Chain A
Amino acid sequence: MAETFSVTVRLFAVFREALGASALTREVAPGTTVGGLLAQLIAEHPGLDGAEKAVSFSVNRVYASAETVLQAGDEVAFIPPVSGGQLSHGERQMSSRR
């Protein structure tokens, strides 16, 4: 069995509030994707229900796809839709109150 390794997860906005931390260190199995890590966190934290719908991902401070496979020492972040403004994409709201 390949050994797990650790990655850093930076948490912002709804993610920071739901997990009660701005960063955490997480052990993951080889082959874990960014999207897979988010699915794990959502399964553990009911407050994140639905958070995956519009989220983007970054790995080492660069936007990345959900399929990106994590490497030891990576810095991962889940990026809720950015504050935007009234562009053609429209705006959605997610209550932060639980």
Chain B
Amino acid sequence: MTTADIIAAGVFRILERPITADELIPHVLTDAYGAVATFSGTVRNHARGKHVTGLAYEAYPEMAEAEMRKIAAEVYAQWPDCRVAMLHRIGKLDIGEVSVAIAVATPHRKESFEACEFAINRLKETVPIWKKEAYDDGEVWVEGVAPSAEGASAGSA
């Protein structure tokens, strides 16, 4: 299979239901791999000194999934022998729920950690997803990184 085929067959989804990193493992693990690193991003109860009561995520779903596939292409360029999958949940989430899940399988553990960290860092830079934090006294769209036409698809590694 070519890298394009692997990415086309991969799991890169924006979902409006609870997600887990474990559900990605069957999509990345084969008998040739000896390591799976997973990352789960969860909703924290505090941010910037305020008590957070809940979060709502919104995405540009078609573009977000396309950007995830671009990140996968970057991962495969750096770690040719691996499999990666990513999910991001949208809608209202409670404290402690999983908002983003990534799994990377590789022959040995070192590369799985490295590729997983790379993938989550890139996801937070380029994938068009926004979060609105709810506090006891209101709610705010939290702004993070401004993607650029140049940097968004060029990679930062």
Contact = CB atoms under 8 A, between A and B. Distances in A.
Interface of A: 10, 12-14, 16, 54-58, 61-65, 77, 79-85, 87, 89, 91-97
Interface residues of B, number: 33
Nearest to B131: A83
B153 interface: yes
Given A77-B63, A79-B60, A87 B140 contact: no
Given A83-B124, A84-B124, A84-B125, A12 B60 contact: yes
Given A13-B58, A79-B60, A94-B140, A87 B148 contact: no
Interface string B31-65: 00000000001000000100000000111101100
A94 B62 CA distance: 25
A58 B62 CA distance: 12
Interface in B127-146: 127-132, 138-146
Shortest 7 CB-CB contacts between residues of A and residues of B = A84-B144, A13-B130, A83-B131, A81-B143, A61-B63, A63-B152, A65-B149
A96 B128 contact: no
Given A56-B152, A65-B149, A14 B144 contact: no
Given A55-B146, A83-B124, 14 more contacts: A12-B128, A14-B141, A16-B58, A56-B146, A62-B66, A64-B149, A77-B63, A81-B143, A82-B125, A82-B127, A84-B124, A89-B145, A96-B139, A96-B140
A84 B131 CA distance: 9
A87 B60 contact: no
Nearest to A10: B60
Task: Name the residue among A14, A79, A82, A89 with the largest chain B CB count within 10 angstroms.
Answer: A82
A16 B35 CA distance: 42
Contacts of B131: 83
Contact of A83 (B121, B142, B148, B149): B142
B147 interface: yes
A82 B130 contact: yes
A85 B147 contact: no
Contact of B130 (A61, A62, A64, A80): A80
B126 interface: yes
